[in-house]
Amino acid sequence: MSGFLRKTVLITGGASGIGKIMSRLSLERGASVVVWDINAQALTDTVAELSRTGSIVGYRADLSDCEQITQTARKTIAEVGMIDILINNAGVVTGDFFHAHEPEDIAQTVAVNMLAPMYLTRIFLRDAIARKSGHVCNIASMASLISNPKMSVYAASKWAITGWSDSLRLEMTRLKTQVKVTTVLPYYINTGMFDGVRSLIPLLDQEKVALKIIRAIERDRIFLDMPCSHRLVRLMQGLLPVRWFDLVAGEWLGIYRTMEHFTGRKTN
């Protein structure tokens, strides 16, 4: 069991959405929280608001910059100490057809969603393996299992994170490090990141999602997928020929049309 009491928790993208809620929930469980976020004002406001609940500090970090990740990690360790629980939560999405993506869109999505968790976890693991204690939670996406138009680069980055995250879990088990790894696969969450999405399956409530993630860490869950009903779609994906699945899930259930009216968060 990965309890939060007297542990130090680092949450990327922790100044808004489920990151902010997980920060609060961690504090309520007796943890000290370190928040990384690119939005300086949101970071300041979150730290000020949640400081009434417990010990929390914030660091501005651009996760698309490998050197900045390294420097901010060193500063965090020097000022706060070693991290017990790392939650790789930060993410970005560009909702458009692939041919409309600019190279900068592709580079940022891959850097923030895929490379940043790897870079940061690598730094975190050095101490965690030495102490034979620690937990890494990676927020992937249901898009890492089911392809979708207008999500090609986002889906690619999340497919990579899911494969890497569970491979990391197997490595930590084989090496007997006692370091736990949890991979989270949520459907669309109503944080504003996916504003404009239209779906037969209701968007997930961010408060409930955050609580389920924290509980998954506490219980050392390997995978957390939300909602559970989405397992039926995955079952159909395994049983049906691809063209049949495209028809049933993509067209009849409307999964392939969910991003048609995507607008995304209006402000950063």
Give residue-wise pLDDT tens across range 208-226.
999 999 999 999 999 999 9
Q: What is the pairing mode between strands 179-186 and 223-226?
A: parallel
H-helix segments, 37-195:
40-50, 66-80, 103-110, 116-131, 152-174
- The rounded percent of the chain whose pLDDT value lies above 70 is 98
Q: What is the pLDDT of residue 1?
A: 62
Close Cβ partners of 264 (under 8 Å, ≥ 6 residues apart) = 93, 95, 193, 194, 195, 196
In the sheet that holds 56-60, the strands lie side by side as: 56-60, 32-37, 8-12, 85-88, 134-139, 179-186, 223-226
Of the ranges 66-75, 94-103, 145-154, 259-268, which one carries the lowest mean pLDDT score?
259-268
Give dist(CA 68, CA 180) in Å, integer.
Answer: 26
Q: 189 by DSSP, 3-state: which?
A: strand
Residue among 154, 187, 188, 256 flagged as catalytic? 154
Domain 8-257 class in CATH: alpha beta
Give dist(CA 91, CA 110) in Å, integer.
Answer: 10
154 catalytic? Reply is yes
Give dist(CA 199, CA 165) in Å, integer.
Answer: 28
Kindly indicate the confidence band of residue 260, based on its pLDDT and cuts at 50, 70 and 90.
confident
Q: What is the pLDDT of residue 266?
A: 55
- What is the rounded average pLDDT for all residues in the chain? 93
Kindly indicate the confidence band of residue 267, based on its pLDDT and cuts at 50, 70 and 90.
very low
Placement of tokens 């949640």 in the chain: 50
Whether omega for the bond prior to residue 227 falls within 30 degrees of 0, making it cis, is: yes
CA separation (Å) from 104 to 92, 98, 109, 110, 160?
13, 13, 9, 10, 19
Q: What is the pTM (predicted TM-score) of this model?
A: 0.93
Give dist(CA 132, CA 104) in Å, integer.
Answer: 39
